[in-house]
Chains A and B, each alone.
Chain A
Amino acid sequence: MKTVKVYGPGCKRCDATEALVKQVASDLGITVEIEKVSDPKSMAMAGVMSTPAVSVDGKMVHAGGLPEAAHLKQWLSA
C-alpha cells in the first residue's frame, strides 16, 4: 500500500488535492493511505516551499498547485 502525503496549510486547493488523490486511487482500484501535513515545521523539514505539495512513499512528486489527474495516476501506479 502506498502512503501519500499532501502538504498544505489547509487552503482550498489543498483539500481539492486530497480529494483528487482519493478519487484517482479509487479509479485505479488501489488503497492508499493519505496523510495531510499542515504543520509548517514538518513542511519545512520535507523541503516543501510551494503548496499544495504531494509525496508518494516519501518521494516528492509535486509542488505548487493542484496536480493533474493524469500525473497522479502515473505516480500512484508506478
Chain B
Amino acid sequence: MTTETHDPIHHHRAPDWLWYVGVPLVATLGWLIYGQLIPMSEWVTALFPVARDSHTGEAIAFFVYDVPKVLLLLTGIVFVTGVLRSWFSPEKTRAILAGKRQIWGYPLAALLGVLTPFCSCSSVPLFIGFVSAGIPLGVTFSFLIAGPMVGPVGLGLLYGLVGWQIATIYLVFGFSIATLSGFVMGRMGLERYLQDWVRDLNAGPTGDLPEARLTLVDRLKIGVEQVREIVGKVWIWVLIGIGIGAAIHGYVPEDMMLRIMGGEAWWSVPAAVTVGVPMYTNAAGVIPIVEALLGKGAALGTTLAFMMSVIALSLPEMIILKQVLTLRLIAIFIAVVAAGILATGYLFNFLL
C-alpha cells in the first residue's frame, strides 16, 4: 500500500472492490427507480389539492414525473460519457486530425468533437492548438460545432423523453450540419479573418506529457467527478426547463401551439432559430421544453430548429471565441450553422 495516510485531500479514498460493487449497485438501483416513476409521480401529484385533469394538475404531474426522470438520465449519461471520454484527450485528437488532410477530416473531426472531453472555457486554447498544428480551419469548426450539437446529454435525454425516432433524426442531422458547416467554411478561405495575433502565432509544441496510465477505477472516478461537476452545475437549468415544459404542457392550448409552431406558417422555423440563439441554457434544460412542445402538436421541423439553435449556437461561446475570431468570422460561423438548421427545419416541416 502507498503511504497516503497524511493526505488530507484523499481521506475518503475507497478500496477498488468497493467501486466494482458500488457502481453496478447504484446503476441497478437507479434503473429500478426509473421503472417506478409513473406510479411514484402519480402518488405525489395526488397529494396536491387540485383535480388531476385540471390545467394545474397536468402541469404538476409533468413536473414531478420529469424532474426525477431527467436527473436520473442525466446522471447516468454523464457518468458513462465521462468514463468513455477518459480514453480521449484534446492532445490525442489533435494528433489524429493533424495527419488528415483529405475530405475525411470533416466527419472525423465531428466524431471526435463528440468523443473528446473539453469544456467551453478551454475552447480558445484548444482552437489555437488545432489551428497552429496545421489543422484546417474548416475541420476545426466541424469539431467545435459537433461537440455541443450532438452531445451525449442532448441525445440521451431526447431518447428518454421523446423517443428513439426523433433522437436518431437529431443525431443524423446534427452530425451532418457539423460536418457540412465545417466543409463550407473550409472552402471559403477564412484564415484571413482570424485575429491577427492568432494568424502570426507559431505556437510551441504541446508539452509531450507522459500519458497517464489510468486503471478502470481511475476512469470510474472520472465518471463520478464529471457527474458531481456537471449535474451540480446544470440542475438549476433542468428545473427551469422542466418548469417551462410543465407550464406549456398544462396551460398552453393546442390550437394556439399549432398556430405558432405548426408546420403551416413559413416563418415559424426562422422565428424558432431567432428565439433559440440568445437563449442560454443547455441540452438538459431545453429537452423537457421540446418534449412539451411536441406533445402539444408543435411541428417537428420547427421544434428541431429551436432545439438545435439553443444547443449549438450560444452567445457566451461566441463571446469566448471573440478572442481568436474577428466579428466577421463569428458572423459567418453563425450564418452557416443557422442556414443548416433552417434547412433541417424546413425539410421536416415539408416532409411531415
A residues neighboring B (CB under 8 Å) = 7-11, 13, 20, 23, 27, 40-41, 43-51, 55, 59-64, 68-70
A27 to B11, CA, bound (A): 15
Docked complex Cα distance between A63 and B129 (Å)? 13
CB–CB A44/B128 < 8 A:
yes
Cβ of B201 < 8 Å from any Cβ of A? yes
Q: What's the tally of chain B residues with a CB closer than 8 Å to chain A?
A: 33
Secondary structure class of chain B's binding surface, majority of residues:
loop
Minimal beta-carbon separation of A11 from chain B (angstroms): 4
Say whether B126 contacts A50, CB under 8 Å: yes
A27 touches B207 (CB 8 A): no
**Total A-B Cβ pairs within 8 A:** 91
Q: Any chain A CB within 8 A of the CB of B90?
A: yes
Contact with A along B207-221 (1 / 0, CB 8 A): 101000000000000
Cβ–Cβ contact B122 & A45, under 8 A: no
B132 lies within 8 A of chain A by Cβ: yes
Please tell me if the beta carbons of A69 and B201 are within 8 angstroms of each other in the complex.
no
Contact of B125 among A20, A27, A49 (CB under 8 A): A49
Closest Cβ–Cβ distance, residue A47 to chain B (whole Å): 4
12 further A-B contacts with Cβ under 8 Å, apart from A8-B122, A43-B128, are A10-B121, A11-B119, A20-B9, A23-B9, A40-B323, A44-B125, A45-B203, A46-B207, A47-B207, A50-B89, A50-B122, A69-B10
With a cutoff of 8 Å between Cβ atoms, the chain A residues found around residue B235 in the complex are none
Q: In this complex, which of A41, A50, A59, A68 has the most chain B Cβ atoms within 10 angstroms of its Cβ?
A: A50
Contact B125 A48 (CB under 8 A): yes
Chain A nearest CB, measured from B222 CB (Å)? 8
Which of B7, B128, B324 is close to A69, meaning CB atoms less than 8 Å apart? B7
Provided the pairs A40-B128, A46-B207 are in contact, do residues A51 and B122 lie with their beta carbons within 8 angstroms? yes
A47 engages B205 (CB within 8 Å): yes
25 A-B pairs with C-beta separation under 8 A: A13-B229, A41-B197, A41-B201, A43-B128, A44-B128, A44-B203, A45-B203, A45-B204, A46-B204, A46-B207, A47-B129, A47-B203, A48-B129, A48-B207, A49-B90, A49-B91, A50-B89, A50-B91, A51-B122, A62-B209, A63-B206, A63-B207, A64-B117, A68-B10, A69-B7
